Amino acid sequence: MTYITYERPDHLHDRELDPHAPDADLSPTGETCGKTTNDVAGMEWTCTRRPHTDSEHRAAFEYRGDGPQGEVAIAWESNWGEDANRPRTTKTITTTITCPEGTKQYLTDDDVRSIERVAWESFHEDDHDELTVTTAVAEGDAATTALAQFVEAFSADDLAGDLASAMSCIEADAIAAVLRTQGAAGAAYRWTRLHAAEDEPGDTHHSPTTLAPAEYVVPVDPMDALGCDSCQ
């Protein structure tokens, strides 16, 4: 079936450009798609676009045609008898199974294959060529997982702020130390800096600007500097 997606308005002058016309997408070497169609009046049109992968064909006016040369006269999509090249919407389903050691049934390789088999059997076998079923197994202890979640959460740019300034020096240093040892040095510095900005004199991170001591200069009588003999 053919769908007309654009047709040059009849009221336009034969040399008037249509601002709503799609780009002709012509090839600089003269290559064309070559697909043909007929409009409602029975006139045949040939796609003058360069070879393309999307499904819209466009026919542009030639020299001394009924419209401006190189301007699209008609555009259409044909989904009958040719591949549908437009991207299709896909849906991805993610299922996470967390199984700690010590449960009555700990996940084995056979269990993983069984889970994949259930996924395949949920679809018609004629669609299997279009499917992708991937199962990945990651092992890690709970403490490592919790630490990774902590670092990810406390490394967020918008988290520190008021929270860091309200903490004690020990609390802010503890968070910064964990972040620093886990490779988040920038986040660790941000926590310390935002906390120090609210510290008061006597706190660990308080660093007031040190004033340079005033230099006392002993006044010297210029006549004395010349020597007593020269003054007489």
pLDDT digits (tens, 9 = 90+) for 127-142: 888 888 888 777 667 7
Q: With respect to residue 232, please indicate whether it lies within any of the assigned structural domains.
A: no
Q: Same structural domain for residues 58 and 96?
A: no
Residue 148's pLDDT is 83
Q: With respect to residue 213, please indicate whether it lies within any of the assigned structural domains.
A: no
**Beta bridge pairs of residue 59:** 74
Q: Are 55 and 77 in contact (CB under 8 A)?
A: yes
Q: With respect to residue 212, please indicate whether it lies within any of the assigned structural domains.
A: no
Average pLDDT over residues 1-13: 86
Q: Same structural domain for residues 126 and 147?
A: no
- CA-CA distance, 89 to 126, in Å (whole number)? 19
Q: Same structural domain for residues 68 and 1?
A: yes
Lowest mean pLDDT among 83-87, 144-148, 167-171, 219-223: 83-87
Q: Which amino acid is at 176?
A: A
Distance from the Cα of residue 75 to its chain's centroid: 34
Statement: residue 12 has pLDDT above 70: yes
Q: Same structural domain for residues 106 and 184?
A: no
Q: With respect to residue 71, please indicate whether it lies within any of the assigned structural domains.
A: yes
Decide which of 88, 111, 131 is a domain's last residue. 88
Statement: residue 215 has pLDDT above 70: no
**pTM of the predicted protein model:** 0.36
Q: With respect to residue 229, please indicate whether it lies within any of the assigned structural domains.
A: no
Q: Same structural domain for residues 12 and 71?
A: yes
Q: Same structural domain for residues 48 and 77?
A: yes
Residue 8's pLDDT is 92
pLDDT digits (tens, 9 = 90+) for 33-91: 999 988 888 889 999 999 988 889 999 998 887 788 889 999 998 765 445 445 556 77
- CA-CA distance, 124 to 168, in Å (whole number)? 61
- CA-CA distance, 122 to 138, in Å (whole number)? 24
Average pLDDT over residues 204-211: 48
DSSP letter assigned to residue 23? P
Q: Which residue has the higher pLDDT, 227 or 7?
A: 7
Q: Are 61 and 73 in contact (CB under 8 A)?
A: yes
**pLDDT over 90, % of the chain:** 16
Residue 48's pLDDT is 94
Q: Are 6 and 60 in contact (CB under 8 A)?
A: no
Average pLDDT over residues 105-121: 83
- CA-CA distance, 132 to 90, in Å (whole number)? 11
Decide which of 71, 88, 105 is a domain's last residue. 88
Mapping DSSP to helix (H, G, I), strand (E, B) and coil, where does residue 48 land? Answer: coil
Residue 32's pLDDT is 92
Count of domains forming the chain: 3
Decide which of 118, 139, 160 is a domain's last residue. 139
Q: Same structural domain for residues 15 and 75?
A: yes
Exposed / middle / buried, residue 21 (Cβ in 10 Å: 0-12, 13-18, 19+):
buried
Residue 210's pLDDT is 42
For residue 160, which of 188, 200, 199, 201 has the smallest C-alpha distance? 188
- CA-CA distance, 213 to 124, in Å (whole number)? 86
- CA-CA distance, 197 to 194, in Å (whole number)? 5
Q: With respect to residue 154, please indicate whether it lies within any of the assigned structural domains.
A: yes
Tokens of 222: 């210029």
Enclosing domain of residue 69: 1-88
Q: Are 195 and 164 in contact (CB under 8 A)?
A: yes
Lowest mean pLDDT among 46-60, 68-82, 160-174, 211-225: 211-225
Q: With respect to residue 35, please indicate whether it lies within any of the assigned structural domains.
A: yes
